Amino acid sequence: MSQKIGEECMKKKNIISLIRYYSEKNDAGFRNEAYEIAKDFDKEGDYDLAEYIMSLLSSANNFIPQGNIEDLKYCKKINFDNTSLPLPDIIKNDIVGIVNAIGHNVGVNKFLFQGAPGTGKTETVKQIARLTERNLYQVNFDLLVDSKLGQTSKNVAELFEEINTLMIPDKTIVLFDEIDAIALDRLNSNDLREMGRVTSSVLKGLDSVRDDIVIIATTNMFKSFDKALIRRFDAVVDFNRYSNDDLLEIGEFILNSYLDRYKSASRNIRLFKKILNCSNSIPYPGDLKNLIKTSLAFSSSTDEYDYLKRLYYSINGCQPKDVIKLKNQGFTVRDIEILSGVSKSQVSREVNKKDE
């Protein structure tokens, strides 16, 4: 009996909301409320009525997918493809957990990705959107931040109102890429008082987000974060957990994915990994991808290993011409011949002369 009363109260609330949104000419809110009513009927097993409501919205041209950016001021839709950036197992397991949490739809919906630039935070958000079959929207901080005193805080409040009225919320992920642009430590003496007020507005906004909308934020300034802000997220994933072996494996994956496009380039994974190991610190995946891509793009079509020479230059900051230096870096005579263009016999003579 109490359940039936609760359902009737809910329907009354829906009707009141519909009328209010209509009178306010809030099309996004009206569409969203109608969608919620259709969902409730669907859960109750009244599939025909649910489909009828959806068809009315569609035929009336009111049911506009979230991709209609004209309704949005601070968010823009992000398109993504099916390509993926591999992750080490320790990070991958956390991402699998997030995908599972989203699938359970129990209100665990706010996640923070922290790590150095190039560690794959933003690319991973795109893959989560793909795996969960959700639309991805990114907050445009350029429109959010305003030089007028107090205006940014007002804009933040409007942003969260916009997020909460997105159509089909249970098919939405909102990305706050580099959220530190609007949310630094309120207690930091170097921070402006205005930014402290903005951070407070962000805290309130995160508390108000609907349970079925997924929020993912990224940052490379985690140490400067307000502790209260961190507590607003259900989980924090550290993207700095790459070993050298992880980066070598990812580099090989990236190289192989590009080599198929370059018929004149030849594979030499062993030499490729040796070149990466010359670096004091192997670049993170984002930078590594750019190094490999540009080395291949600028390579000569008449030299099958020119891309490796260019990669060596990018890693070491010098051309691979010093035979003795190459030898000391652990390259074999054949490796040195490929990189320097010096014949094996000449390489051997220079090495032997040095040894003598």
Which domains are assigned to the chain?
2-63 (no CATH), 70-238 (3.40.50.300), 244-355 (no CATH)
In this structure, are residues 337 and 303 in contact, taking their beta carbons and an 8 Å threshold?
no
| Assigned token pair, 47 | 């599939």
Taking the CA atoms of 348, 351, 353 and 355 in sequence, report the sign of the dihedral they define: negative
CB burial of 171-202 (b: ≥16 within 10 Å; e: otherwise) equals bbbbbbbbbbbbbbbbeeeebeebbbbbbbbb
pLDDT means per 10 residues, the chain with 356 residues, are 51 75 71 76 73 63 43 87 84 96 93 96 95 94 80 90 89 93 58 70 93 95 86 96 96 94 95 94 94 96 96 94 93 95 89 71
Rounded Cα–Cα distance for residues 330 and 113 (Å): 37
What residue type is 76 in one-letter code?
K
∠ CA 14-6-164 to the nearest 5 degrees? 40
Q: State if pTM tops 0.75.
A: yes
Structure-token match 């030299």, residue found: 303
Radius of gyration for the alpha carbons in the chain, expressed in angstroms and rounded: 27
Helix (H, G, I), strand (E, B) or coil at 219: strand
Q: Count the Cβ atoms, other than its own, within 10 Å of residue 205.
A: 19
Structure-token match 């990466």, residue found: 276
* Cα dist from 307 to 134, 247, 254, 271, whole Å: 38, 19, 14, 12
In this prediction, residue 284 carries a pLDDT of 95
